[in-house]
Every structure is written in C-alpha cells, then in structure tokens.
Chain A
Amino acid sequence: MMVTIRMCEESFVPGILDGTITCPVHLYTGQEAVAAGVCAALDTRDYVFGSHRSHGHFLAKGGTVKELMAEVYCRETGCSRGRGGSMHLIDPERGMLGAAPIVAGTISLALGAAMAAQVRGEDRVAVTFFGDGATGEGVLYEALNFAALRRLPLIFACENNLYSTHMPIREIRVDCPIVLIASPFGIKAHRVDGNDVLAVHEAASSAVAACRSGNGPVFIEFLTYRMRGHVGPNDNIQGTHTDIRPPEELEHWRARDPIAGFERHLLAAGAVDADGLQRIKIEVADQVRAAHVHASESSRPAQEDLYKYVFHD
C-alpha cells in the first residue's frame, strides 16, 4: 500500500509541472505509513474522513488507483465524477466518507459518524485524519469534549508533519506536544513514530480495539513529515520552485523514509527478498501508468451537466 501511494503521488509531479494536471494537488509523499498503518487496522465497514491531503487515506481505505487518478484529472470517471478534484475523494462503499480542504472541517463529521454508529448499536469505528494545523481550530476541542462525554468510537489521527501550509509548527503553537491536548478531556493519547508503519499499525489496532469495546475515543499524534510542498511538488513561492524548508531538514527526514525503513525491516526478517520488492514496484508502476492513460483518455463532465448533483432526488 505504501508503495502504491508513493508511486501515485510521485507520478503526479511531471503532470503538475507541465500543466497537464491543473487542480490543486497536495501530495502525501513521506506520510504513507500513517494512512497505510491506520487503515490496515480498520475493516471496510469503518468510517474514514480526510483532509486536503488525502490521496493516501483514499487508497489505503480501499479506493482504486484508477478512480483517484481520474479525479485528480477532474474526469467523469473519477471517484467524485470530476466535481471534486484532488481535494474531494470519496468511496462510501469502502467507508471512505469524504475529504475536505477546510482545516479541521471533517473532525466534526467523523464525530457524527461515530455517534451514528453508537446510536445504531454497531461496532463500527470512525477515524478523522487531520494535520498539526488543525490544532489551531476550536472545533477540534469541541469534538474532543463531546467524543469523551459520550465515549464515542472515534480515533483522532493527527498527522503532525511539522508544517501548516508555509508555517513551521514553532510559529503556530507554543512549545507543547500535540499529544497533550487530549488528556484534559480524559482521552487516551499516544505519540507514535508516523514513519514506522509497524508502530502506526500497532497503535491504531489497539485504538480500534478500545473503540470497539466501548472505550473510545482515542487520540494519536503521528510524527511524520511531508517530503513535498504544501501544494504541488515543492513549496513554490511565486513561481520560484524553491522550498521554504532548510535542506538539512529535508535530508534528515529523507533518511527516515517510511518505505525504505519498512523494506529494510522486511529484508532483515527474511519476509521478502530484493527481487520480491522489485516485483512489487514493477507491478504498481504498471498499474499507475495504466491509470494515467485511463484518466487522460476519460472525458471531462459535459457542460450540460453543470446543474447535475446540486440536489439528491
């Protein structure tokens, strides 16, 4: 899954730079272990809500590469039929209930989905993925309170990638670990290496178990890093294509790449050999290439359909 996410994300870069892909694209490169590790702990029936940076969440929850690509190309064959673009990814049948680029905007939606599961007496779990930037929004604290009050089966998955748009975390928060914001509400909270997929999965699995047994909610802060810019391949300020982040910082995190780390683990454990890893990459690359062809050959929605979908019948 991590390789699929990475290859999809990196495959968008040339298209963004040459203007083939024109909607705003927020790449998930570097954070793959979070989506992959959390969603592997969920079942199809569980609910996930994402943000502006949700290609990884969509794929990890079971969305197809083909539908993702076509949506990023804004085509009728995309998961949102070209009406949403990169920032609005949905697959209700697989529990991916949607994503939205209003920071913290889907936290309360996940709160409601968890509440609905509780009302219906189901053992579904809801997950809201959000970034460190969302800790500046009041709705997060409202949701923490209500989720704790009703013991809702909700996992707050905070992907702390150290930047909210162009702002480094030290400029937006007092020096206080994000993980600490949940404890005043009596919520179990964990801080996990978000680039270690096994650690992510372990934390998510125990959170899911707690939620299913009526001991939710759970808050997890995943420490990670986005290797690409806030939007597009780099933090392109007024066309300079230069990154605002120090090169040493990028190097530091490149050395902690979640995929390379997991590959080393698999090789050391003898679970797979170098050829096996290569075969996976070739297979995924073929899939990604085919999806680009499919997307670019798909038509954009017809103009006479402008009014379609404003209301459900």
Chain B
Amino acid sequence: MTRTLSFEAAINEALHQEMHADPSVLLIGQGVKSPWYVGNTCLGLLERFGERRVVDTPVSENAMTGAAVGAALTGMRTIIEHPRVDFLIYGLDPLVNQAANWHYMNGGRASVPLVLWAIINRGGEQAAQHSQALHAWFCHVPGLKVVMPSTPFDAKGLLIAAIRDNNPVMYFEDRWLHRSVGPVPAEPYAVPIGKAIVRRTGTNLTIVANSFLAAESMKAAEELERRGIDAEIIDLRTLKPLDLDTVLTSVRKTGRLLVVDGGWRSFGVSAEVSASVAEHALSELKGPVRRLALPDVPAPATRSLEQAYYKDRSHIVAAVCDMLGRSHIGKEPGEA
C-alpha cells in the first residue's frame, strides 16, 4: 500500500520498521528524543524501543561517533545522528580514520555496519557554522558510501538500505526537504545504494543533481518545458559510489550537461561529475559542461546575502537557458 507521506515521516517510518525488525539496530545522536533538532523524524522511537536503543547524548560528538563505530564493530547496526553537518566535524577521527579504514586495514576481518545520518540545516540566517553542506568531503574517502535522498520515497528506502549495509554509509538529509510530500509504500523496502535514477527523460540536455536541488531540478524542468526545452533529469541518489554509467548514457544522448550541487563549487561533487564526463565522453559533448553550485564563500547570515548565496530552480532555469543560447529573462516562448 502506498500513501502520501512527508519526507520526515518517511524517515520516521524507516527507523520504526528497521528497529522493530532487527534488535541490533541502535540509534545514537543529539536530539533523538526531541523535535528541537530532528523535527518529527524520531517521533515515538524512545517510547517504543527504550533509552538503551534510542540514545540521546551529551554534546560529545567525537566520543559518540566513536561509540557508534565501536558498537558497530561488535555487530550492532548503529545509526549515529548529527543534527547539523557542522557538528559532525568533531567526529571526523572515528569516521574517517577508523570506520572508513577498519575493514580494509584489518584485511576484511571486521566490518562497520554504521549509518552516519547528518542533517544539512541551512537558511534562516543561521550563518557559517550552522549551514554547511560537506557531503563532498566524505566522497573523497575510500571506504565510505554517501547517499542523499531527494524524495520521501528515497528518504525511507535509502535509509533502510543504509541500515542494512555492512559498511559505513553517510546519509545526508537536507532539512529543506522535511515538509515535502510524496508517495511512500507502507512496507519496508530498500533503494539500492550505488544507483542513480532518471527522474525525467528529455532530449536537449542532461541535468545531474542530488538531494534538495534534484527536487528543484524537477520543478525547473517544468518551467523549461514551457519554454520548449526538454531536460533529462538524473538524481544521483548515491554520490559514492557514483553511478557514472547512468550519467554517461544520458550525456551521450543529449550532448549537454549541467551539474547541480548544493555544496561548494570548487573540488566538489559538481567537479567530480564534470571531470568524469570529460574523461569518458568529451567527444560527445556539444558544448562545455556547466556547473551550478554554491560560491566559494562561507554561508552568510543576512537574508540579502543568503539570497545571493543559495541556489534554487530559478538558477537552474537561467543556467540551462544560457547554455542553450536562450534568453531566460521574462517572457516564455509565444508570449508577446
């Protein structure tokens, strides 16, 4: 049975179902017993599973991330939640030095079934230390997988896949998607990690995006359609390992590529996708690859600068029109 659920309700359902099905699933994190940090994503978990399996924590990101890794090493399927990506930086040692390397450097003798759930919680004049989207950092590290859902369906399915995976998986959730709604099957299901999805087929160009900006790309495509532009939208779903085949198949068809990412422009996801396409399909491109990402600037507080900083559907429309040599200002085709 499929119902319409919000993004946060989909996460909540995934947690309830996996914790119920598997007693080894353990949830640790700041705010897991309060909507202050995690919205409604953890509703009812503490009451149902008790404070040994639903562990709200002191503000000790380093030790708590390490504890999650250690619990995972003993076979617990552990989820460690960080209510802001910025806070997770204190937990980098256990994540990057330990969890990511453990299976390799111990010759496969032990694995780390860990989900690191980090919330990108930006906007609202929160400034530079409450707004950062650092997903690209983690894509650089061998041994980590990185997923970023853009729909309620994926919010549930990718979280379940991450919990069931035997490796450390980073699950980046954009809080701008919390109130978005969409169809979500009632039963547990996993969205495969490592596979992108073509959200919309098109012929004029390929837009590769993820998370919030994949959702925005879908809305941009509607506006582009009104202007006679037929965009193909690829939602990466998983950033690492990157599903390059799906990207290349599309680019070979359309000959044009716009890469959209909610992280910084330099050395980020948009750079990696662009470089990979250039390596494998340069001769099939009809024009230069275009990137749309955050400028290399810390997140500002004031609303006027926030508006200049963040990207949304209007920037996507503008970039596409520019790539195709169309005017993007004002009128749609056919209008006087």
Majority SS of interface residues in chain A?
mixed
Q: Once the chains bind, are A310 and B110 in contact (CB under 8 Å)?
A: no
Segment touching B, from A14-22, A26-34, A36-44, A81-89: A81-89
Q: Once the chains bind, are A97 and B105 in contact (CB under 8 Å)?
A: no
Residue of B69, B74, B93 with most chain A CB atoms under a 10 A cut-off: B74
- Given A139-B62, A149-B58, residue A119 in contact with residue B76 (CB < 8 A): yes
Cα-based distance from A308 to B105 in the complex (angstroms):
11
Residues of chain A within 8 A of B102, CB atoms compared: 98
- Closest B residue by C-beta to A139: B62
For window 293-313 of A, CB contacts with B under 8 Å fall at 308-313
Q: Once the chains bind, are A117 and B74 in contact (CB under 8 Å)?
A: yes
Residues of chain A within 8 A of B98, CB atoms compared: 100, 102, 105-106, 109
Q: Once the chains bind, are B107 and A309 in contact (CB under 8 Å)?
A: yes
Over the window 257-277 of chain B, the binary record of Cβ atoms lying under 8 Å from chain A Cβ atoms (1 yes, 0 no) is 000000000000000000000
Q: Once the chains bind, are A79 and B109 in contact (CB under 8 Å)?
A: yes
Q: Once the chains bind, are A83 and B104 in contact (CB under 8 Å)?
A: yes
- Which of A47, A81, A102, A142 touches B107 (beta carbons < 8 Å)? A81
B203 interfacial by beta-carbon distance below 8 Å: no
- Given A115-B70, A116-B70, residue A80 in contact with residue B107 (CB < 8 A): yes
A143 interfacial by beta-carbon distance below 8 Å: yes
Q: Once the chains bind, are B103 and A311 in contact (CB under 8 Å)?
A: yes
Residues of chain B within 8 A of A47, CB atoms compared: 74
Cα-based distance from A115 to B68 in the complex (angstroms):
9
Q: Once the chains bind, are B105 and A83 in contact (CB under 8 Å)?
A: yes
Between-chain CB contacts (< 8 Å), 24 pairs: A78-B107, A80-B106, A80-B107, A83-B104, A90-B106, A97-B74, A98-B106, A105-B94, A106-B70, A108-B63, A109-B94, A113-B70, A113-B71, A115-B67, A115-B70, A116-B26, A116-B75, A118-B52, A119-B53, A120-B76, A139-B66, A149-B58, A312-B166, A312-B167
List the interface of chain A (C-beta within 8 A of B).
47, 49, 78-84, 88, 90-92, 97-98, 100, 102, 105-120, 126, 138-139, 142-143, 145-146, 149, 308-313
List the interface of chain B (C-beta within 8 A of A).
26, 52-53, 55, 57-58, 60, 62-76, 78, 93-94, 97-98, 102-111, 142-143, 145, 166-167
Further contacts, 17 of them, CB under 8 A, given A100-B97, A106-B70, A113-B71: A79-B106, A83-B104, A97-B110, A105-B66, A108-B70, A109-B70, A111-B67, A112-B67, A112-B68, A113-B73, A115-B70, A119-B71, A119-B76, A142-B60, A143-B60, A143-B66, A312-B108
